[in-house]
Amino acid sequence: MPLFLRATFAIVRKDLTAEFRSRELFSAMLVFSLLVIVIYNFALELTPTIRREVTSGVLWTTFAFAGTLGLSRSMAVEKDRGSLDGLLLAPVDRAAIYFGKVMSNLVFMLLVEVFILPIYSALYNINLFHPGLLLVILLGSLGYASVGTLLATMSVQTRTREVLLPILLFPVAIPVLLAAVKASTGFLNGATLAEIWPSLNLLIAYDVILSSAAFMVFDQVVEE
């Protein structure tokens, strides 16, 4: 296996091993997500039709805020423990560090979503296990984790990192979230693929653009 891939998967393995031992990050993300959907469920007295219409917005609001919490804590732990400096001093391409952190952050987001989807389905009486919707969740989470990892690396160097990350992340991630919400709504409402495809195409395009841009500037960000 090439050195680049070995370094990438070593970072993923490190993050997952540390998290499975402490369960600090995943627990915080899961509890936050559960709190959001339970509050929505009991605070909004909606008819079944309206519930289906607002489902994609509620889901992506939950995923976005839980993902932001996870991104912030993931990089803060690296900084506080001194692991980030160790990673930067390692004799590997820094792109491997970026992709390793993206993959581990994506795994954490997907694990939370795996728990949230059946609970949301039970509370709102909506079947969310549509292949198209699951694809949108994967693509949206990938785009969010890609740009979020870069901005979390940038903001972790500041004293106000918990406040700064959402301020930087949400404006940049809005295209991903809007495209994901629109595509999710299409699949939930039974729209045709021709109607959904523009939003899905936009989501894929933004994933590629944001990931490529983050990859190109990551080295400069960590140097600063």
176 or 123, higher pLDDT: 176
Q: Return the minimum-mean-pLDDT range out of 21-30, 38-47, 169-178, 186-195.
A: 38-47
User: Which residues lie below 8 Å from residue 86, measured CB to CB, with a gap of 6+?
Assistant: none
Measured CA to CA in angstroms, residue 176 lies from 108, 158, 163, 220 at distances of 18, 26, 21, 24
145 in Cβ contact with 183 (< 8 Å): no
- Compute CA 67 distance to the chain's CA centroid, rounded to the nearest angstrom: 5
**Residue 103 contacts residue 138 (beta carbons within 8 Å):** no
Tell me which of 175 and 77 has the higher pLDDT: 175
Per-residue pLDDT tens digits for 1-28: 577 788 888 888 888 888 888 777 888 8
- Quote the pTM value: 0.90
CB atoms within 10 A of CB 152: 27
For 204-217, what is each residue's pLDDT tens digit?
Answer: 999 999 888 888 88
In tens, the pLDDT along 52-75 reads 778 888 899 999 999 998 888 888
Rounded CA separation 210/219 (Å): 15
Q: What is the domain partition of the chain in residue ranges?
A: 3-223
Lowest mean pLDDT segment, chosen from 82-86, 104-108, 113-117, 211-215: 82-86
Taking alpha carbons only, the member of 35, 30, 207, 180 closest to residue 108 is 30
pLDDT at residue 137 tops 90:
yes
Kindly tell me if the per-residue pLDDT of 168 is higher than 70: yes
Q: What is the DSSP letter of 13?
A: H
Structure confidence at residue 48 as a pLDDT band (50, 70, 90):
low
Average pLDDT, the chain: 85
Which of 194, 164, 157, 179 lies closest to 75 in space, CA to CA? 157
